[in-house]
């Protein structure tokens, strides 16, 4: 790629086509690292939030720790901003190495977590690490996805555009309009990226792009699953407690509202959750969106990227997506070199206006195996269509058929202690509490791209029961072991450096490798429904024990290929103690097979890449030879 100095880039802002010599190949342009990182301006600004949610009579102050190129400021050159707004800068740290902010004697940050500052400040960007309301040095109280959190982060963008007041530590008013272009790109993994989703949903002017990585789109769907509590993640009150940095008692009222609002006893969707649902506000999004998510993320599950992506598509939001085979892992730690290069061009395009062609490239990158990637011009691919699979027979296993009809019925008795491993393994063995349906051995590859749904016609012996469905690929293969302790990666002892360093802040990070294992199966997607929430998530309706109900629910969205020679399986169980806390157990359910169907989004054969079309990123893998038990997930 051709690189050009930033001052030349600035002269090209607003130009959509760059002239090239006749018959010359298109020239890809990148901003160059022409500014000195070590001497960059470091400052702290206290931005006024529109809210006073700690009730002290003073609007909350959001701390924006800033680093920006000194030479640009001296020359009067305005720069755009990359911002990571996070609750974790002091309690827990960021990134694979859990870096925290380190402060100098004057109160400014001498060491920023992550590489964003090291890499992008020399290239003519400012970087802001903002403390969310009630965390680290910000005032107010953390309300976990609520108005204080979102409006506080939004206020920093408003300050950069001259719409709200910011002050320095001495209380003097500080303006950013002299050095900021007003354009902002928000980025972050997990909670940080969730904040980016929430701020984008406000439609704030100046936010040009967001890059949410493994991030929540609706807090209900993080803590709940169709009326049931997700026991694998931290509750809203516990997350508040984890990141709260205010003196004891300051945030008691907010903590109480969080405890009463999240409706743990019922699993209901209510106004508390509606206020934390960004999907419903997708029509307000003005920023472009680069979604990155692990298809095997068991913390922030795939429902979040799937429903957010669909809503963005419905509103014609410019977008791009990466889907990996890892769990809750940052792309910096599963595809580092390609990621940094792609992110560089993404920000150059959306924040500097460099016409580098990135929006003309394939919309999606999907990891097929460890470090083997396939691109799709659109996602889901053009021509993807719903195919119905019916459930036939009651043997072990039954048949999952793409034609014909289901008939007869089966009885399924709850087995509360049935683990996922026992539910899906050894499909030809009869086991209490589970029923397996399999396709015949596939004669050609099958690509599922999108959100599967399951419909069952059932009668329950109790007023409610959990209904669980899992998609499984059966066939021994070497796969990314997303259930290893690193969720598919292992941290090495070697390092690589990404950007410039100073005496207090280096740009070097430990390298990683993919962790793979050979296994006879892999769970591809999961989905759950509480029987008493079958008609509504806002209220419960008990099931009449003599009545059949037709119940439909979604599984987690995926883009996975089941290779020829393997089988696709559907596993039905009731209670699933690893993933949902059931409201009742011990039911016996009768399933009417004629009224039950699995619907799969199947990509056309042309969307399956030949080996020559697959890209391999210099694989570094560790074969661990085992399928490890699931490590405890953490929301970071």
pLDDT at 70 over 70: yes
pLDDT at 30 over 50: yes
- Determine which one of 84, 117, 158, 297 is catalytic: 297
State mean pLDDT over 330-339: 98
Please, are residues 68 and 41 in contact by the beta-carbon 8 Å criterion? yes
Q: What pLDDT does 585 receive? A: 75
- Determine which one of 86, 138, 190, 376 is catalytic: 190
State mean pLDDT over 380-391: 97
Q: Domains, the chain, ranges and CATH?
A: 2-361 (3.40.50.1820), 385-623 (2.60.120.260)
pLDDT at 473 over 90: yes
pLDDT at 630 over 60: no
Tokens at residue 50, please?
A: 């529109």
pLDDT at 594 over 80: yes
d(CA 530, CA 552): 11
Burial group, residue 431, by CB count within 10 angstroms (0-12, 13-18, 19+): middle
DSSP code, position 49: P
Tokens at residue 366, please?
A: 């999907």
Share of the chain residues as helix, strand and coil, in percent rounded to the nearest 5: 20, 35, 45
Q: Strand 489-497 to strand 615-616: parallel, antiparallel, or no bridges (unpaired)?
A: unpaired
212 Rama class: left (phi>0) / alpha (psi -120 to 50) / beta: beta
Half-sphere exposure of 376 (CA within 13 A, CB side): 27
Question: Out of 4-8, 42-46, 158-162, 457-461, which region has the weakest mean confidence (pLDDT)?
Answer: 4-8
3-state helix/strand/coil string of 241-307: HHHCCCCCCCCHHHHHHHHHHCCCCCCCCCHHHHCCECHHHHHHCCCEEEEEEECCCCCCCCHHHHH
State mean pLDDT over 469-478: 98
Tokens at residue 536, please?
A: 């509504």
Coil vs helix vs strand at 6: helix
At 388-419, the pLDDT tens digits run 999 999 889 999 999 999 988 999 999 999 99
Residues near 30 by Cβ (< 8 Å), separated by ≥ 6?
Answer: 1, 2, 3, 4, 344, 345, 348, 354, 356
For the chain, how far is it from start to end, CA to CA, in angstroms?
35
What confidence category does residue 607 fall into, taking pLDDT thresholds of 50, 70 and 90?
confident
Rounded to 5 degrees, φ, ψ at 395 are: -80, -170
Q: What pLDDT does 18 receive? A: 32
Average pLDDT, the chain: 92
Residues near 475 by Cβ (< 8 Å), separated by ≥ 6?
Answer: 520, 521, 562, 563, 565, 566, 567
Coil vs helix vs strand at 97: coil
Q: What pLDDT does 314 receive? A: 98
Whether the CA torsion 111, 112, 114, 116 is positive or negative: it is: negative
Q: Answer whether the bond into residue 315 is a cis peptide, omega within 30°.
A: no
At 266-296, the pLDDT tens digits run 899 999 999 999 999 999 999 999 999 999 9
State mean pLDDT over 360-375: 97
Q: What pLDDT does 583 receive? A: 63
State mean pLDDT over 66-94: 98
At 445-455, the pLDDT tens digits run 999 999 999 99
State mean pLDDT over 118-138: 98
Q: What pLDDT does 407 receive? A: 86
Neighbouring-strand partners of residue 166: 47, 174
- Determine which one of 304, 328, 344, 533 is catalytic: 328
- Identify which of 326, 620, 323, 333 has the alpha carbon closest to the alpha carbon of residue 481: 326
DSSP assignment of 424-482 equals HS-TTS--TTEEEEEPPPPSS-EEEEE--EEEEEEEESSS--EEEEEEEEEEEEEEE-T
Q: Answer whether the bond into residue 205 is a cis peptide, omega within 30°.
A: no
Please, are residues 367 and 560 in contact by the beta-carbon 8 Å criterion? no
Q: What pLDDT does 3 receive? A: 44
What confidence category does residue 626 fall into, taking pLDDT thresholds of 50, 70 and 90?
low
What confidence category does residue 615 fall into, taking pLDDT thresholds of 50, 70 and 90?
confident
190 is catalytic: yes
Percent of residues, the chain, with pLDDT higher than 70: 93
At 505-549, the pLDDT tens digits run 999 999 999 999 999 999 999 999 999 999 999 999 999 999 999
């Amino acid at each position: 790629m051709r690189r050009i100095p930033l001052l030349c880039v600035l002269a090209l802002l607003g130009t959509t086509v760059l002239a090239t010599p006749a018959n010359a190949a298109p020239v890809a342009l990148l901003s160059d690292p022409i500014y000195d990182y070590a001497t960059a301006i470091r400052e702290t600004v206290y931005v006024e939030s529109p809210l006073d949610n700690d009730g002290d009579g003073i609007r909350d102050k959001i701390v924006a720790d800033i680093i920006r190129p000194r030479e640009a400021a001296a020359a009067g050159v305005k720069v755009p901003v990359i911002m990571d707004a996070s609750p974790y800068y002091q309690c827990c740290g960021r990134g694979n190495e859990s870096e925290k902010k380190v402060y100098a004697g004057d109160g400014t940050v001498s060491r920023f977590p992550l590489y964003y500052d090291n890499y992008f400040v020399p290239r003519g960007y400012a970087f802001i690490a903002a403390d969310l309301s009630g965390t680290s040095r910000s005032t107010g109280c953390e309300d976990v996805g609520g108005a204080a959190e979102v409006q506080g982060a939004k206020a920093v963008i408003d300050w950069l555009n001259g719409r709200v007041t910011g002050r320095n530590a001495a209380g003097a008013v500080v303006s950013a309009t002299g050095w900021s272009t007003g354009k902002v790109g928000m980025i972050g993994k997990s909670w940080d990226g969730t904040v980016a989703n929430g701020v984008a949903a406000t439609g704030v002017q100046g936010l040009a792009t967001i890059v949410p990585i493994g991030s929540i789109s609706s807090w209900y769907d993080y803590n709940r699953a169709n009326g049931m509590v997700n026991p694998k993640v931290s509750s809203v009150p516990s997350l508040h407690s984890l990141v709260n940095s205010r003196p004891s008692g300051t945030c008691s009222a907010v903590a109480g509202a969080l405890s009463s609002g999240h409706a743990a006893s019922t699993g209901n969707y209510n106004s508390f959750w509606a206020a934390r649902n960004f999907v419903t506000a997708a029509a307000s999004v003005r920023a472009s969106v680069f979604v990155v998510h692990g298809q095997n993320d068991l913390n922030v599950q795939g429902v979040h990227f799937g429903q957010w992506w669909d809503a963005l598509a419905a509103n014609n939001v410019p977008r791009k997506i990466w889907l990996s085979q890892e769990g809750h892992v940052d792309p910096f730690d599963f595809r580092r070199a390609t990621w940094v290069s792609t992110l560089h061009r993404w920000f150059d395009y959306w924040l500097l206006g460099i016409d580098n062609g990135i929006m003309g490239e394939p919309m999606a990158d999907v990891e097929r195996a460890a470090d083997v990637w396939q691109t799709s011009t659109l996602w889901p691919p053009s021509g993807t269509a719903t195919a119905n699979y019916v459930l036939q027979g009651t043997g072990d296993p039954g048949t999952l058929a793409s034609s014909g009809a289901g008939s007869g019925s089966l009885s399924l008795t709850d087995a509360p202690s049935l683990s996922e491993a026992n539910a899906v393994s050894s499909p030809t063995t009869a086991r209490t509490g589970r029923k397996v349906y399999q396709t015949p051995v596939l004669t050609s590859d099958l690509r599922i791209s999108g959100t599967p749904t399951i419909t069952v016609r059932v009668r329950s012996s109790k007023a409610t029961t959990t209904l669980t469905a899992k998609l499984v690929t059966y066939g021994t293969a070497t796969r990314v072991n997303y259930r290893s302790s690193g969720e598919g990666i292992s941290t090495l002892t070697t390092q690589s450096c990404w950007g410039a360093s100073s005496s207090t802040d280096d740009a070097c990070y430990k390298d990683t490798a993919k962790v793979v294992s050979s296994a006879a199966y892999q769970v591809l997607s999961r989905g759950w429904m509480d029987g008493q929430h079958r008609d509504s998530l806002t209220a419960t309706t008990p099931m009449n024990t003599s009545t059949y109900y037709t119940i439909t629910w979604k599984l987690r969205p995926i883009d996975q290929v089941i290779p020829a020679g393997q089988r696709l399986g559907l596993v039905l169980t009731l209670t699933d103690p690893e993933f949902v806390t059931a409201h009742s157990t011990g039911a016996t359910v009768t399933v009417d097979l004629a009224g039950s169907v699995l619907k799969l989004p199947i990509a056309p054969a042309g969307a399956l890449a030949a080996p020559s079309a697959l890209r391999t990123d210099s694989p570094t893998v560790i074969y661990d030879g085992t399928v490890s038990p699931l490590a405890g997930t953490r929301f970071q």
